[in-house]
Amino acid sequence: MILVVASLLVLLSPLLVGRMPALVERPWRLAWLAVVALALQVVVIETPVGPAAPFLHVLTYVLAGGVLWANRRTAGLWVVSLGAACNGVAIVLNGGVLPASPDAERAAGFDPDVEFLNSGAVEDPVLPWLGDVFAWPAPLPLANTFSIGDVLLVVGVGVLAWRGSHRLGTAPSRQNDQGAAPAALAGGGGPVAQSGATSVGRLEARSVLARSGSVRGCQPTPRLLDPRAPAPRGTDQPRATAGTPPVLLRRPGGPPRPNRH
């Protein structure tokens, strides 16, 4: 429960300074699958489901992994994925239970009579340092143990909430899945990006026109590439010879250049 509360506090933290969390407005793929995984984990922890509890616990991480993979291009999600991977690997290697430090369990005041705990003491645990080695002590509300993976999950939620956040009442900036604004497509990003987009557009337009033949004189001839090449039959392009003055050849979209051959 402390993990859920901490994640919610971090998620809503941008509101304290008048900013809208980006995590709330972002469209998520397979969001319903994340809800199913969370609900299933609550059922596994809070209700007696018998011997199937470890298997169902692992299944919740498999479902969550599918959601993370579907949204893998989201900037900052790799932190959440790393935290989930740390917990998932430790749970799978320890029979469906996240190993917990006995000292952390005593500090959190866990009840040993509970039928199933998503985290608990394991005999000869594998990778125990990935387990619940930290404790929110019992005198405090929501006493519980937590792992390094849980810390990464909360940090990842904070990154997703703050990255791309905007002031309340203003429109969010459009960003691609990698978190970088497509400045060239949006018409921004400075003169370098604009000139690059313009050059690409000119090249594509010339290529389409030349292939379609819709504009007279657009057919690609060797003289556009090499002025020494013979002029195609039926054209009025002069052939440069020795002793003749330079002929200015104008390239499409560029300044004239002299033919010195």
Residues 6+ apart with CB under 8 A from 70: 29, 30
Query: Would residue 31 count as lying in a domain?
Result: yes
Within-domain flag for 239: no
**Which residue type does 92 have?**
V
pLDDT at residue 235, as a whole number: 52
Ranges of residues in the chain whose predicted pLDDT is under 50: 115, 176-200, 214-225, 240
Question: Which residues form the domain of 13?
Answer: 2-167
Predicted local distance difference test score (pLDDT) of residue 253: 57
Domain membership flag for residue 191: no
Residue 26 within a domain? yes
pLDDT at residue 173 in the model: 67
Residue 100 lies in a domain: yes
* Cβ atoms of residues 227 and 248 within 8 Å: no
182 domain-assigned: no
Number of domain units in the chain: 1
pLDDT of residue 177: 44
Rg of the chain in Å (alpha carbons): 32
Q: Which residues contact 238 (CB under 8 A, 6 or more apart)?
A: 231, 247
β pairing state of 119-120 and 134-136: unpaired
Within a domain: 172: no
Residue 250 lies in a domain: no
**Residue 189 φ/ψ region, left for φ over 0, alpha for ψ in the -120 to 50 degree band, beta for the rest:** left
Contact 196, 204 (CB under 8 A): no
